[in-house]
Amino acid sequence: MTYHAGRHFLQIPGPTNVPDRVLRAMDMPTMDHRGPEFQAMAKRVLTGIRTIFQTENPVIIYPASGTGAWEAALVNTLSPGDLVLMYETGHFASLWKKLAEKLGLKTEFIAGDWRHGADSAAIGERLKKDAGHEIKAVCVVHNETSTGCVSQIGEVRKAIDAAGHPALLMVDTISSLGSLDYRHDAWGVDVTVGGSQKGLMLPPGLSFNAISNKAIEASKTASLARSYWAWDEMLAMNDKGFFPFTPATNLLYGLDAAIEMLHEEGLANVFARHQRHGAATRAAVEAWGLEVLCAEPAHHSGSLTAVLMPGETGADALRKTILERFDMSLGAGLSKLADKIFRIGHLGDFNDLTLIGTLGGVEMGLEASGVPHQKGGVDAAMAVLVSATAKEARQAAE
């Protein structure tokens, strides 16, 4: 293999680049997970992670991918044959639906076009028709990683309340937690699903369930089979600073450092940074004469941008060229979007200069691949960043 000087640009929308500080925190001898040193760290992490979900309630941490947290959310709150209402925002919403069906749940999918977030009005109308309250849960992906579209969870909660429906609200934040403003308590979410490998700046391997009191009550009568995922044993042990099974000790070291980093920057600043990078990336796409997949500006994501390829040009050939020539990985189109889009991840440990390097790689790749486009995307992005930085400086001085 040919050696590439410089670092690899991992600009897929997760897993994201792991900062040195987190890597160094994980690079420690494994401690006794039944001892007092671990107990102190675990209590700190279990308390700190609540601030990232913006909740006062417990957050359960599993050694698993986000798929495990999907399953945990369902099996702890539902019973065989229960009906779950889900919204088709994209590939990952579809996978969550398939998982629910494998568990013995009935699902109803509100069709979407993969270019918008969830339609809260459509969810509300469906719930109003459910006079017998057969629907036991509503599941929505906050930031659909396959499309770059954000669902307005606060509006979904309002729609559920307006329908007077008791269904649980479950939300996937795997590519938004620690990157986009998300409010578990304020938005009345019952179970929030998260993962470690994106905005939390960790490798894959940790997943989360933030749970409401209503969800805890539902878990007491739910009858889907569960053992490893059971909340009750986790809550009892977590209260003492321990876990009912061997935890991912070194990943928890890293999570401790990541939470500290997010607090040092300030969550409001983290969210503003991601919004700035999303706006700059979309400005570049527009300047190139290409089209952002997400068609509704109110649903644009600060975590990633999915870009439609022009005409019959394939996205995978472009991604291959960019990887081979510039050592940069971009996200592929998934399932029905395969070879039709490429996805630019701009989340996690990511700054303005990293964004300009990323967009420079894309612009050079478009030219090298002969993809029809206009020049000037990087310049357009820089203009957005300069303007945003100047505005932030003025606000800080006031």
- Let me know if 48 is exposed, middle or buried by CB neighbors in 10 A (0-12, 13-18, 19+): middle
15: preceding bond cis by omega (within 30 degrees) = yes
Tokens standing for residue 270? 């983290």
With beta carbons less than 8 A apart as the criterion, state whether 148 and 343 touch.
yes
Pairing of strands 341-345, 328-332: antiparallel
Q: What six digits make up the tokens of 381?
A: 């992005």
Q: Is 126 annotated as a binding residue?
A: no
Going from the C-alpha of 72 to that of each of 63, 100, 220, 298, the distances in angstroms are 12, 11, 14, 31
Two tokens at 218? 């539902």
**Phi, psi (rounded to 5 degrees) for 159:** -65, -40
Containing 87, the helix (H) or strand (E) segment is strand 83-87
Residue 175 to residues 10, 12, 80, 147, Cα–Cα distance (Å): 15, 11, 29, 11
Number of Cβ within a 10 Å radius of residue 264: 8
**Amino acid in position 369:** S
d(CA 197, CA 361): 23
| Cross-strand partners of 18 | none
Task: Give the annotated binding-site residues for substrate.
Answer: 343
